[in-house]
Amino acid sequence: METLLETKDLVTNFYTYEGVVKALNRVSMVVDHGTTFGLVGESGCGKSVTVRSVMRIVQEPGLIENGKVIVYLDEEDKRAGIDLLQQSEAYMEKLRGDQISMIFQEPNAALNPTLSIGDQVSESFLFHQKREMCTKIVDDLTAPGCRTFYPLRRLEETIYRAAAKTPDAFLLKIFDRMPLLSRWQKRLKKEAKKRTVEIVRKLGIPNPEQVVDQFPHNLSGGMKQRIVIAIALACSPVLLIADEATSNLDVTIQAQILDLLRKLKNEAISSILLITHDLGVVAEICDRVGIMYAGNLCEVADVREIFHNPLHPYTRALLDAVPKLSAKGVLKSIEGNVPNLVDPPPGCRFHPRCPHTMDICRKKPPKMMKTGNNHLTACFLIGGGEE
């Protein structure tokens, strides 16, 4: 498997009134092409912050302090890794929605209530696929069966040819802002709408032509989430990041969405980075799992490994805490509380709650070490290895 995304020693802090929240403490994570990576952890452990740092949409007062986020967009070319943290905002704007997409937890709030569904999905196409659409329009205009009035057709052809060459031309931007001249976009918008209907249909929504003209409040929660996925998948991204995308849905809808994601993974997307706190979802759909605690990545392994052979004490406690029908007696829980990240415990952040704490755990943070077949653990007890 080729590496798609690699974060190295990612550090993100939030500067709040109560102090500096050290949300990410040198997170190093690897996601491969063609896999579904599940990032698991309790609420507040930094899963969302990690992926938002990758996409560089961390909200104020957060700041990405240090580290590298390297993407290898081209599966073939291993040397073409790009550090996203060094790129300009314009580059990131081109990347988001096109190569890497993200879907969020609350589908009811994720859509703009005053814009139609079609408008919002078309935006993805209009941001990233202008060139392809313009070329297609030019082809349509020069095709023999075209019935538009000849001079108008020539004019549109010239405009679209120019737009296909330089979609971000300054002149076109000015035209967009003026009331009458922005009409040149009519064909472009119609083409985008066509593509919108297609992708909405592909996601299993009935009557896409009508749905496209409706507004978010006309749709149910599950449908809205499908639309959100449609927006994310519009430009066939290489990586889809799902930030607790099914946590707010009914279990049945959740199952449908997971099925949908599985189907689409084979057809449209290459890789998925799924964030969840639900181990059941992880078992269903993920190929590889990473466990996070208090801003640190504790353990990473293939999904079967993690469930059959959990090594890190936190992972083991987590799996122990899942109630099983066959078990009897008192439910097991993890002693203590999630630490305050303004003043986190020194050394390993899990050490106050760990049943196997050693002296060194209080002093130094453990490094991620190989502890088996594709299995990485950050624990002095398991992996050994001092800094």
326: how many CB neighbours lie within 10 A of its CB?
Answer: 4
Task: For residue 179, state whether it binds other proteins (rule: CB under 8 A).
Answer: no
**Would you mind telling me the total number of residues written for the chain in this entry?**
387
Q: How big is the site for other proteins, counted in residues (CB under 8 A)? A: 34
* C-beta separation of 314 from 298 below 8 A: yes
Cα–Cα distance, 158 to 357 (Å, whole number): 72
Closest CB to other proteins among residues 97, 313: 97
Question: In terms of CB distance, is 131 or 316 closer to other proteins?
Answer: 131
Mark residues 46-65: x for contact with other proteins by CB under 8 A, - for none: ---------x-x-xxx----
Distance CA 182, CA 164 (A): 16
**Cα separation values, 292 from 22, 208, 318, Å:** 14, 39, 11
Q: Which of 6, 42, 75, 123 binds other proteins (CB under 8 A)?
A: 123
CB of residue 233 to other proteins, shortest distance in Å: 12
| Residue (235 or 361) nearer to other proteins, CB | 235
> Residue 331: exposed, middle, or buried by beta-carbon count in 10 A (0-12, 13-18, 19+)?
exposed
Residues 365-384 that bind other proteins (CB under 8 A): none
Contact 95, 5 (CB under 8 A): no
Residue where the block lists tokens 């790129």? 87
* Residues between 214 and 273 that touch other proteins (CB under 8 A): 215, 217, 228, 231-232
Residue 126 φ then ψ, to 5°: -70, -30
* Cβ-based nearer residue to other proteins, 124 or 296: 124
CB of 216 or CB of 310, closer to other proteins: 216
Q: Are 67 and 9 a contacting pair, CB within 8 Å?
A: yes
Q: How many CB atoms lie within 10 A of CB 313?
A: 24
- Considering only residues 76 to 95 of the shown chain, the ones binding other proteins according to CB under 8 A are 93-95
Binding mask 125-164 toward other proteins (x if CB under 8 A, else -) reads --xx------------------------------------
Per-residue x/- marks for other proteins, 93-122, CB under 8 A? Answer: xxxxxx--xxxx-x--xxxxxxx-------
* 119 half-sphere exposure, CB direction, 13 A CA radius: 10
The nearest distance, CB 376 to other proteins, in angstroms, is 29
d(CA 295, CA 53): 13
Instruction: Between 16 and 66, name the residue whose CB sits nearer to other proteins.
Output: 16
Residues that bind other proteins (CB under 8 A): 16-17, 55, 57, 59-61, 93-98, 101-104, 106, 109-115, 123-124, 127-128, 215, 217, 228, 231-232
